[in-house]
Amino acid sequence: MASYQTTQRRALLGYLQRHEDEAFTASEVAKGMRLDPLASVKPAASTVYRLLTQMAQEGSIKRFVREEGRQYHYQALACGKGKGHLHLKCNVCGRLIHMEESRSRRILTEISRDMHFIVDEEQALLFGRCCGCDREENA
């Protein structure tokens, strides 16, 4: 059974990584995987919910609540840049932007020094509007 779950977990992570700039609810992931010809395994919705919860708790994917709703959204951390940088999330298009490590370090150091607060960078996600969406809104 453990190998079966491992196969499902790999398929789920693969799906999220193929869509790393997007965030999904658990039901959207389950539906997307059923329709995705590249998904090697099509896990049941209950399995998707359980695995997403586990993976978020482990820190292998991001879990957050969008401004407009109460549902959790999940997103891969497959940026290939490793730890040491912050992520910016556009509220309009959903794009995930990876902040440069040096800039992230400066911000985290300043918060630590000035606010006496240590940010958990694995969990930190800054929400706002990307420049593309901002231009469209202000046009």
What is the tens place of the pLDDT at every residue in 35-77?
999 888 899 999 999 999 999 888 788 888 876 668 888 888 7
pLDDT at 5: 63
Looking at the structure, tell me whether residues 26 and 88 fall in a common domain. no
For residues 107 and 115, the answer to whether their CB atoms sit within 8 Å is: no
- Alpha-carbon 122 to chain mean position: 11
CA distance 64 to 51: 16
Q: How many domains, the chain? A: 2
pLDDT at 1: 44
Looking at the structure, tell me whether residues 26 and 70 fall in a common domain. yes
Q: Which of 4-8, 67-71, 110-114 has the highest mean pLDDT?
A: 110-114
Looking at the structure, tell me whether residues 84 and 73 fall in a common domain. no
Looking at the structure, tell me whether residues 5 and 51 fall in a common domain. yes
Confidence of residue 82 (pLDDT cuts 50, 70, 90): low
pLDDT at 106: 92
Question: Can you give the residue range of the structural domain that contains 55?
Answer: 1-78
Of 60, 78, 96, the residue at which a domain comes to its end is 78
Percent of the chain with pLDDT over 70: 87
Looking at the structure, tell me whether residues 58 and 35 fall in a common domain. yes
Looking at the structure, tell me whether residues 25 and 93 fall in a common domain. no
Looking at the structure, tell me whether residues 56 and 2 fall in a common domain. yes
Torsion of the alpha carbons at 126, 129, 130 and 133, rounded to the nearest 10: 160
pLDDT at 30: 95
Q: Residue 32: give its domain's CATH number.
A: 1.10.10.10
Looking at the structure, tell me whether residues 14 and 68 fall in a common domain. yes
Helix ranges, 1-125 (H): 2-18, 26-35, 45-58, 101-115
Torsion of the alpha carbons at 17, 23, 28 and 34, rounded to the nearest 10: -10
Work out the mean pLDDT of the chain and round it to a whole number: 84
Q: Residue 89: give its domain's CATH number.
A: 3.30.1490.190
